């Protein structure tokens, strides 16, 4: 189901605005709003006409939320044929759209004139209608359609649970739709089943029930070593003497290098999407994060605005980079530098000009810089399954994300590392709150909720007559910033193909290392971590189709038309990987592979509406008792193929017909 709107109804542009909740920010030079009386907010601009670009699975029909079929035809008849239609897919925005139609029809049927100055008055220049202009038959038909529409709205509102946010309606809908896609994918092939398992376990906040194997001799020996006290943040170390340049010898880009000219040429693209961070690392002596963080802080004049001592900034950047593990293939300082530079570019998008204060910008960049510090190269679930100290400390909830935050802030307490020393107490508190919110949002199990929150916020304002997305409170502003850092964290598939392929190789290497550790421990190997069975190309197509594309599609709606080139690159990269999907799934070698699963899985989303229905001894997920969970059901073996038709050919043909799905996260766990 979708609701169309005319270009007049949903025109977008940013209204300039300074933030009101943080009075200590002061005015931001170059960021003052064009109209001092304008509220901080966004007027929604139309997307491209349908059919110009591939839409994500979110725009497919979902029977549980299908509105009256009259809605679409009625709105379409009002809309101008010359303008594109925007599709509304979030349930709460659909209810609002229907109620606005009911209100409009009521005005026509009762001959009650619509006030011209109310916020619910139509935005576009639509021709006025009155009952006298309608025949008796048309009037009766319109009355019936209006009643049907009102009944549908009542049905939706009557099923609302008052203790849940309206965005959770969208989150549950999107999870249900994704599970339907994954069920179909898992039935297509063995590798499709593995990819489906990976997406469901990583992006749907699913808690595994696992048997933790007894520790072997090596693990027992490690446990005998004195662990840090539970209240102490592990992983913090001192910066080696002489590492931090100081005094008058501050390098141009914050790092010592004999290739400064080459580094400078690369950094000419600092403000562009697709900076080659691998070359930056090469020319900066593997100090990409220190270089990027120092240069961006100088470029944005944050050093001057917040009175950050240059030597302190240099010391902190080097100390932070040293706390990323160089032996981790993907989640290292190179990835942090890439996410920080991507966040820097997203903050500078024209649609967001004059929207965020310097303090918010400082918080977003700092969050990007620390968001994976001290990452061990394994997933949250691996730490939980192995009873790690971190999992125990953080009660299995966003384990790594909490640890990254703790280390990032703890390093500020090291000698000459407090880059926020000249912020006021209130500024420090506000910055810390924002950074915590943004880094916790990089937990990929929160992905669907983040996406639903943003899409609900955008579409709800599309439906309203004003079409203005006001960002005049902390909740709305941090929601945009959280999604911005999340987009930057999942931006690898949107970069030039040569860079994307390098990131793909790195994340697969990290996955396979975890799989090897799981194999050595006798654990079940996590999806996409078995080097003998993983299908890299197929997983990339699915990762884009089900995770990256819906997210960036929504972000592009928010900042339209600024992200159109990014979407185009994403589609090109998706097509490139799709063209290289092997003809059939790889088969494991007879001796080295892990034992094959006994059955495939069907992914069914069950919304646990009643907490009292819990079985004895079965606990709900830590986040909430009402969190949607996945129920695995045995895969039903399909009928035997006719003789003379190899199963591989059947599988290949079916994949060609149905497309590909699934994927792993080139960007985060």
Ramachandran quadrant class, 660 (left: phi over 0; alpha: psi -120 to 50; beta: rest): beta
For strand 468-470 and strand 601-606, is the pairing parallel, antiparallel, or unpaired?
unpaired
Q: Contact at 8 Å (CB) between 12 and 467?
A: yes
Q: Which of 190-199, 319-328, 471-480 has the lowest mean pLDDT?
A: 190-199
Q: What are the backbone dihedrals phi and psi of residue 391, each rounded to the nearest 5 degrees, phi first?
A: -65, -40
Distance CA 199, CA 596 (A): 19
Q: What is the pLDDT of residue 354?
A: 86
- For the chain, the first-to-last Cα distance in angstroms comes to 32
341 pLDDT higher than 90? yes
Helix (H, G, I), strand (E, B) or coil at 604: strand
Please state the rounded mean pLDDT for residues 181-188: 74
Assign 467 a pLDDT band (cuts: 50, 70, 90).
low
Helix (H, G, I), strand (E, B) or coil at 449: helix
Instruction: Identify the residue with better confidence: 365 or 110.
Output: 365
pLDDT tens profile 285-302? 999 999 999 999 999 999
247 pLDDT higher than 50? yes
Q: What is the pLDDT of residue 68?
A: 41
Q: Which of 12-21, 262-271, 485-494 has the lowest mean pLDDT?
A: 12-21
131 pLDDT higher than 70? no
Most confidently modeled range among 41-50, 77-86, 419-428: 419-428
Nearest to 6 by CA among 66, 73, 97, 75: 75
Assign 198 a pLDDT band (cuts: 50, 70, 90).
low
Q: Which of 4-13, 49-58, 106-115 has the lowest mean pLDDT?
A: 4-13
Assign 595 a pLDDT band (cuts: 50, 70, 90).
very low
Instruction: Identify the residue with better confidence: 553 or 236.
Output: 553
Q: Contact at 8 Å (CB) between 237 and 320?
A: no
- Give the number of other CB atoms < 10 A from CB of residue 119: 9
Q: Tell me whether residue 560 is one of the annotated catalytic residues.
A: no
Q: What is the pLDDT of residue 614?
A: 41
Q: What is the pLDDT of residue 48?
A: 55
Please state the rounded mean pLDDT for residues 102-128: 61
Q: What is the pLDDT of residue 669?
A: 37
- Give the number of other CB atoms < 10 A from CB of residue 501: 17
Nearest to 311 by CA among 421, 426, 424, 409: 421
Please state the rounded mean pLDDT for residues 578-588: 70
Q: Contact at 8 Å (CB) between 256 and 318?
A: no
Distance CA 302, CA 298 (A): 6
Query: Which sign, positive or negative, has the C-alpha torsion 16, 18, 20, 21?
Result: positive
The tokens describing 363, both together, are 């918080």
Q: What is the pLDDT of residue 37?
A: 35
Q: What is the pLDDT of residue 521?
A: 95
pLDDT tens profile 255-268? 999 999 999 999 99
Of the candidates 83, 331, 335, 560, the residue annotated as catalytic is 331
Q: What is the pLDDT of residue 141?
A: 83
Q: What are the backbone dihedrals phi and psi of residue 468, each rounded to the nearest 5 degrees, phi first?
A: -100, 125
* Omega before residue 561 within 30° of 0, cis: yes
Nearest to 22 by CA among 356, 440, 255, 308: 356
Q: Which of 237-251, 324-338, 343-357, 614-628 has the lowest mean pLDDT?
A: 614-628
Q: What is the pLDDT of residue 137?
A: 80
Nearest to 23 by CA among 359, 482, 364: 359
Q: What is the pLDDT of residue 562?
A: 92
For strand 41-44 and strand 468-470, is the pairing parallel, antiparallel, or unpaired?
antiparallel
Assign 128 a pLDDT band (cuts: 50, 70, 90).
low
pLDDT tens profile 535-566? 899 999 999 999 999 999 999 999 988 999 99
Assign 106 a pLDDT band (cuts: 50, 70, 90).
confident
**Average pLDDT over the chain, rounded to an integer:** 74
25 pLDDT higher than 60? no
What percent of the chain lies above the pLDDT cut of 70? 61
Helix (H, G, I), strand (E, B) or coil at 213: coil
- 3-state helix, strand and coil shares in percent for the chain, rounded to the nearest 5: 50, 5, 45
Residues whose CB falls within 8 Å of the CB of residue 425, separated by 6 or more in sequence, listed in order: none
Residues whose CB falls within 8 Å of the CB of residue 498, separated by 6 or more in sequence, listed in order: none
Q: Could you say which DSSP state residue 343 is in?
A: H
441 pLDDT higher than 80? yes
Burial label, 212 (beta-carbon count in 10 A; 0-12, 13-18, 19+):
exposed
- Give the number of other CB atoms < 10 A from CB of residue 179: 22
11 pLDDT higher than 80? no
623 pLDDT higher than 60? no
- Residue 601's H or E segment, with its range, is strand 601-606
Q: What is the pLDDT of residue 243?
A: 60
Distance CA 353, CA 501 (A): 32
Q: Could you say which DSSP state residue 492 is in?
A: G
Assign 140 a pLDDT band (cuts: 50, 70, 90).
confident
């Amino acid at each position: 189901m979708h609701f169309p709107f005319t270009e007049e109804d949903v025109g977008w542009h940013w209204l300039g605005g300074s933030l009101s909740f943080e009075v200590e920010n002061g005015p931001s030079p170059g960021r003052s709003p064009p109209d001092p009386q304008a509220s901080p907010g966004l007027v929604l601009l139309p997307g491209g006409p349908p059919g110009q670009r591939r839409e994500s699975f979110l725009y497919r029909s979902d029977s549980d939320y299908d509105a009256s079929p009259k809605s679409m035809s009625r709105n379409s008849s009002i809309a101008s044929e010359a303008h594109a239609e925007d599709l509304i897919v979030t349930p709460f925005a659909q209810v609002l759209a229907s109620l606005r139609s009911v209100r409009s029809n009521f005005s026509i049927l009762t001959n009650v004139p619509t006030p011209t100055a109310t916020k619910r008055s139509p935005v576009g220049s639509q021709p006025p209608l009155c009952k006298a202009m309608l025949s008796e038959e048309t009037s009766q038909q319109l009355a019936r359609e209006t009643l049907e529409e009102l009944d549908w709205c009542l049905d939706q509102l009557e099923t609302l649970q008052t203790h849940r946010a309206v965005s959770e309606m969208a989150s549950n809908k999107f999870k249900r739709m994704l599970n339907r896609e994954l069920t179909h994918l898992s039935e297509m092939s063995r590798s499709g089943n593995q990819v489906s398992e990976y997406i469901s376990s990583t992006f749907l906040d699913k808690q595994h029930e696992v048997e933790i194997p007894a520790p072997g001799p090596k693990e027992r020996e490690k446990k005998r070593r004195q662990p840090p006290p539970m209240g102490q943040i592990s992983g913090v170390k001192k910066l080696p003497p002489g590492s931090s340049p100081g005094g008058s010898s501050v390098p141009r880009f914050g790092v010592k290098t004999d290739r400064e000219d080459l580094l400078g040429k690369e950094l000419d693209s600092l403000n562009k999407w697709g900076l080659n961070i691998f070359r930056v690392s090469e020319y900066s002596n593997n100090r990409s994060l220190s270089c990027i963080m120092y240069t961006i802080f100088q470029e944005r004049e944050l050093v001057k605005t917040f009175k950050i001592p240059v030597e302190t900034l240099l010391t902190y950047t080097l100390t932070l980079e040293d706390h990323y593990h160089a032996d981790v293939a993907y989640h290292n300082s190179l990835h942090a530098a890439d996410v920080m530079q991507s966040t820097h570019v997203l903050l500078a998008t024209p649609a967001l000009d004059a929207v965020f204060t310097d303090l918010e910008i400082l918080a977003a960049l700092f969050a990007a810089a620390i968001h994976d510090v001290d990452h061990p190269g394994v997933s949250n679930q691996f730490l939980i399954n192995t009873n790690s100290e971190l999992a125990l400390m953080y009660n299995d909830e966003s384990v790594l994300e909490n640890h990254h935050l703790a280390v990032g802030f703890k390093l500020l307490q090291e000698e000459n590392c407090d880059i926020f020393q000249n912020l006021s107490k209130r500024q420090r508190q506000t910055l810390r709150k924002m950074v915590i919110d943004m880094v916790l949002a990089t937990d990929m199990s929160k992905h669907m909720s983040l996406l639903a929150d943003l899409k609900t916020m955008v579409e709800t304002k599309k439906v309203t007559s004003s079409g203005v997305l006001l960002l005049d409170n902390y909740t709305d502003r941090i929601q945009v910033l959280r999604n911005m850092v999340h987009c930057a964290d999942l931006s690898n598939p949107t970069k030039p193909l040569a860079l994307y392929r390098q990131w793909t190789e790195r994340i697969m290497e990290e996955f396979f290392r975890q799989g090897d550790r799981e194999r050595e421990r006798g654990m079940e190997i996590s999806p996409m971590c078995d080097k003998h069975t993983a299908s890299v190309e197929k997983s990339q197509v699915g990762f884009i189709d089900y995770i990256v594309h819906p997210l960036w599609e929504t972000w592009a709606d928010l900042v339209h038309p600024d992200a159109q080139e990014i979407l185009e690159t994403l589609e090109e990269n998706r097509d490139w990987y799709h063209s290289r999907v092997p003809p059939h799934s790889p088969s494991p070698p007879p001796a080295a592979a892990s034992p094959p699963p006994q059955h495939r899985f069907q992914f069914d989303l069950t919304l646990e509406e009643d907490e009292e229905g819990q079985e004895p001894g079965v606990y709900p997920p830590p986040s909430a008792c009402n969190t949607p969970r996945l129920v695995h059901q045995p895969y039903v073996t399909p009928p035997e193929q006719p003789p003379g038709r190899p199963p591989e050919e059947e599988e290949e043909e079916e994949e060609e017909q149905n497309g590909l799905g699934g994927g792993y996260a080139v960007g985060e766990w």
